[in-house]
Amino acid sequence: MTLARFEWRMHSLRQLLVLALLLFGVILANEVFASLRAVQLSYISLSEYHLREALEVPTAFAFFSLSTFACLHALQWFVDTKIQRRMRRK
């Protein structure tokens, strides 16, 4: 493969990572709203569902997802830098 083709693929990967990050934000917001709604509805029932318990799962999801995105971004940045250096040498 040529360096120009690698550069184009890195651009596509960057766009895919941005899309994944946006989807993550939508999913996380939905889960937080659902958790808050569950806490609100638990006041009616006999067993109360505390806010801290409700937000544990979305928080864990956010931590692991953002850690994965950070690693993928660092890898993409490293490869893109290598491609740019090699293109400048040509």
Residue 65 to residue 29: CA distance in whole angstroms:
14
- H-helix or E-strand spanning residue 68: helix 51-89
SS3 16: helix
Q: What is the CA radius of gyration of the chain?
A: 20
Tell me: the pLDDT tens digits for 40-61? 888 888 788 888 888 999 999 9
User: Which residue matches tokens 């029932």?
Assistant: 45
Residue 44 to residue 10: CA distance in whole angstroms:
52
pTM of the model: 0.73
Tell me: the pLDDT tens digits for 15-42? 898 999 999 999 999 999 999 998 888 8
Residues with Cβ within 8 Å of residue 73, at least 6 apart in sequence: 17
Question: Is residue 84 predicted with pLDDT exceeding 70?
Answer: yes
